[in-house]
Amino acid sequence: MRVDGILVPVITPFKTDHSIDETAYADIIEHLIDAGVHGFCIGGTTGESYALTHEERIRQFAFSHEVIAGRLPWLAGVNDMRTEDVCALSVAARERGADGLLLAVPPYSTPNQKELAAHALKVDRVAGGLPIVLYNFPARSGAEFGHEFLERVGRSSSFIAIKESSGALERIHMIAREFPHLQLCCGADDQALEFFVWGARSWICAAANFFAREAVALYETCALEADFVLGRRIMKAMLPLMTILERGGKFVQCVKYACTLDGLPAGEAVRLPLRPMKKELKRELRDALNTARTTIRGLISEEAKTHA
């Protein structure tokens, strides 16, 4: 399986009583397909999977599969604290039509590299041959998929890619140089250009929930056309917005609020322990989004005229 293009970790819209709004969820998926994205991640942290019950997560897999209806591939986020629960979610995802799994380090337990490999290989055994994309985000999980781990799991062809969200450029270099069989996937929205320079062909982009066309434009410019001059200009326009998302401390809230600015039925509700964002951050995000959009549209229009 090739992991190519912009894959969106879809938000989970809630009603005012904090129950899942499946009608809004379906509308968001349809909007993203129309915007030209290339796939989805269902049940990731951007979708607040940590705040959903086990039953809600499995229902989300099934419902997403019904809505997507084979039009685009989707990965199931199956992370949890216990290996047994990760395995159960993996089986459920396979049975409900997932095209692959997104597997992170179990949080809080901080396993060593040998323990992590045993965990991942156990998931592999129950996944029935589904491709697995690793998700490295040590700031959230407390441990990383390190060199020793990658060597150990490399014995299985199921591990096809790694979403790298550590923020460490040396990790990009290491994966590209020493593990070329692993597809490199951007998992840090403010480093997309660096990933594409080093050969990444995919970007699991949370911002694409509301910024899909712009993300697709950067992907096409860099990964398909190898135009890194224009790519740098697009990324420069994106950076103030991405910095707010990555370092503002209200990531999910920012993504949901930005969706509402586009008229999407995302709502602003988040489940505990998260709390709503403040007016000052809303204003900062809104201004950065408008500026980025205007600049990027101008760059693309300018480029089109040049080649007309």
Q: Known catalytic residues?
A: 135, 163
CA 219, chain centre distance (Å) = 14
Q: Radius of gyration over alpha carbons of the chain, in Å?
A: 19
Q: How many residues does the chain have?
A: 308
Which runs of E-coded beta strand occur in the chain?
A: 5-9, 39-42, 74-77, 100-104, 132-136, 159-164, 183-186, 202-204
What burial letters (b/e) apply to 125-153, b meaning 16+ CB within 10 Å? eebeebbbbbbbbbeebebbbbeebbebb
Q: How far apart are CA 259 and CA 51, in angstroms?
A: 20
Pair 253, 264: CB distance under 8 Å: no
Backbone angles phi, psi at 75, to 5 degrees: -100, 140
Helix or strand (DSSP H, E) at 87: helix 83-95
Sign for the pseudo-dihedral over CA of 158, 86, 170, 202:
positive
| 4 within 8 A of 38, measured Cβ to Cβ | yes
288-295 contacts: CB < 8 A, separation 24 or more?
A: 288/240, 288/241, 288/244, 289/210, 289/211, 289/241, 289/258, 289/261, 291/237, 291/240, 291/241, 292/211, 292/214, 292/237, 292/238, 292/240, 292/241, 293/214, 295/237
- Angle of CA points 254, 144, 158, to nearest 5°: 95
